[in-house]
Amino acid sequence: MLKRYFGKGFSYFMLIFCGLIMVVPFIWMVSTSMKSQTAINKGSVGFIPIEFVNYYAHDGKKELCEIVDQEGYLTVINIYDKDRKTFKESYVKVPSENIKSSKHLKFHWENFKEAFTKVPFGRYFLNTLFVSFSVLIGVLITSCLAAYAFARMRFKGRDFIFYLFISMMMVPQPIYLIPSYFLLTKLGWINTYQALIIPWIANIFSIFLLRQQFKTIPQDLFDAAVIDGCSQFAILWRIVLPISKPILATTAIFSLIGSWNSFMWPLVMTSSDNLRVLQVGLSYFAQEASSSTALLMSASTFSIAPLLIMFLFAQKQIISSFISSGLKG
């Protein structure tokens, strides 16, 4: 009995420990994003954005100040004005014993605003949204049509084309990056939205997933529909798609996550600032603003946020999508 409780306790301890390791980087990211750069540079590592604030206490008053130098018993300070930004008096020498410091919780929300406006992240967001949703619509259309044909129609060369598709799926992206770059250059598509959208509107994996689903639909349903005079397209639209909603949602989720996080392709195929998607914009920001860690963490936070929120709301559906696709794949 005791051993059993010990086992349970150990399980929970390990699971919680591992769970912490999974989320701590994100918590740290958010907390760092709300610190001031000065606090970070002074070595603030903790999770709570606490700052030490210096006061000049005299005549029963407390005035916010900044320490400039220490000269024996005297400290040179700049006294802040009421707005806490500009100085009321500079280089005042006061007795060191009158300088008090206190801990102070402060969230620098303005980091988000600064990061967002320093480079056109708004534009990057819109680019990513536009590309992601265009790809999503394309993927849904091409996959439903192709999967329906593969699953439900009989024609010459069907299996050959299907296995050709499947074998393409095995080829990793870095392999066709170089020739695609050449092709897109020849097409004049470098630095255009087409380059980010068109090559991705057919997704072999989605076709595969949908085909598996469409195959499970009983033949009777199709026969009945044909007798009623339904055309093939009407069968797909009126019967097959409505009963395949979960798998369509899965396809949509994969497509969205894939496009939102896609990095190497847009990095190579676009160079103009106007066409940068979020991930590319973020990576350039990381190079340009590498010393402004607080801003960098803010930018990381808001670039993760939309997908993370989507995940938290639909986590059951998303996780089971990953599982079912993993087991089928």
Partner 1 sequence: MITKKNYFPFGYILPAFLIVFAFRLIPIILSFIISFFKWTIHGPEEFIGLRNYIKLFQDPVFWQSLLNTFYLVVFVVPITLILSLFFANLLNRTKKLSGLFRTTYFVPTVTSLVAISIVWKLIFSPHGGLMNHVLGFFSIHGLNWLSEPQGIFTLLFGAMGINIPNAFGGPSLALFAIIIVSIWRSLGYNTIIYLAGLQNIPEVYYEAAEIDGASKWKQFFNITVPLISPTTFYVLLMTTITTFQVFSQVYLMTGPPIGGPLGTTKVIVYYIFDIGFGESQNLSYASAIALVLFFIILGLTMLQKRLEKKVQY
Among 48, 74, 126, 183, binds partner 1 (CB under 8 A): 183
Question: Stretches 54-62, 78-86, 102-110, 179-187: which one binds partner 1 (CB under 8 A)?
Answer: 179-187
Residue 280: CB atoms within 10 Å:
25
Smallest distance from partner 1 to CB 314, Å: 10
Residue 270: CB atoms within 10 Å:
21
Smallest distance from partner 1 to CB 78, Å: 25
Query: Judged by CB under 8 A, does residue 311 bind partner 1?
Result: yes
Q: What residues between 290 and 309 interact with partner 1 by CB under 8 A? A: 293, 296-297, 300, 303-304, 307-308
How far does the chain reach from its first CA to its final CA, in angstroms? 42
* Cβ proximity to partner 1, 56 vs 285, nearer residue: 285
Query: Judged by CB under 8 A, does residue 76 bind partner 1?
Result: no
Query: Judged by CB under 8 A, does residue 197 bind partner 1?
Result: no
Query: Judged by CB under 8 A, does residue 1 bind partner 1?
Result: no
Binding mask 34-63 for partner 1 (x = CB under 8 A): ------xx-xxx------------------
* Cβ proximity to partner 1, 61 vs 160, nearer residue: 160
Alpha helices in 228-277 (DSSP H): 232-234, 241-243, 245-261, 264-269
Smallest distance from partner 1 to CB 300, Å: 4
| Contact assessment for residue 65 and residue 55, using Cβ atoms and an 8 Å cutoff | yes
Query: Judged by CB under 8 A, does residue 166 bind partner 1?
Result: no
Among 26, 52, 91, 107, binds partner 1 (CB under 8 A): 26
| Paired tokens of 258 | 């894939």
Query: Judged by CB under 8 A, does residue 234 bind partner 1?
Result: no
Q: Looking at the DSSP assignment, which residues form a beta bridge with residue 105?
A: 50
Query: Judged by CB under 8 A, does residue 249 bind partner 1?
Result: no
Q: Count residues near partner 1 (CB under 8 A).
A: 93
Smallest distance from partner 1 to CB 41, Å: 7
Among 56, 80, 124, 148, binds partner 1 (CB under 8 A): 148
| Paired tokens of 182 | 């050449």
CA torsion sign for 117, 120, 126, 129 is negative
Task: Give the position of tokens 């949908």.
Answer: 210
* Cβ proximity to partner 1, 41 vs 102, nearer residue: 41
Among 36, 222, 241, 252, binds partner 1 (CB under 8 A): 222
| Paired tokens of 13 | 């301890």
The residues near 304 (Cβ < 8 Å, ≥ 6 apart) are: 26, 29
CA dist list (Å): 42 to 37, 38, 39, 51, 181: 9, 6, 5, 10, 45
Radius of gyration of the chain from its Cα atoms, rounded to whole angstroms? 29
Residue 232: CB atoms within 10 Å:
14
